[in-house]
Structure 1
């Protein structure tokens, strides 16, 4: 894959940005379009958030990037995302912010709900973390 596509692979900041309070409405709307039987294909929510159509080079590169996670890890992440975004209060949508943290250690994924926030945290250990932000964004910030 050429550098022009790799430059736009989301980093940690970008991935987490779609689950902040400011972006939850948009992310929930995209999730509702993707959900089939309460699930969606892992990776497609971030692809949709970034506007990448299925079959585009960016979409294909992103899906290859997330394929590093085995199915069991994907399921934990996806379940936390679905639970956070589809939270309902009364009869109204009330999505909950979610943060993904990458750490060293043995391979694994855990999710934790904190009622006090409320918030969700997904901790991914032992898998290569994405860059802090998109390469294109980092390149644009370099001093001339």
Structure 2
């Protein structure tokens, strides 16, 4: 029996870096290879343009379309995983990134990164793989920018 029920998964992390640095790491191929499972992001970043994450062999892992591009604060894309046949059957979902600056206790400016993954079927292969995956990716992004 198929279910049309979906959930939204939300993840938040604070990174001790200015939003412009976080934005660059999020959207630049030379940075994504450092924190996104060695994937390189490819896009022109125009609304409606394709976005692809490719592995070291040049094979796509994620396909999508840019829905919102507002540097350095908002990025939304569709998210179609193609790293396995099983996960590909989940179909396209949506990923929203929101970056907001704030001054922490010290003088350093930090960025609150909110990632929202919506349209996910609860308990699906996609859900089981991306929930820990997003947590890992956000921690990897934080480590990269804070070192």
With the length of structure 1 as denominator, give the TM-score of the two structures.
0.33
Normalized per residue, which structure has more helix?
1
Normalized per residue, which structure has more strand?
2
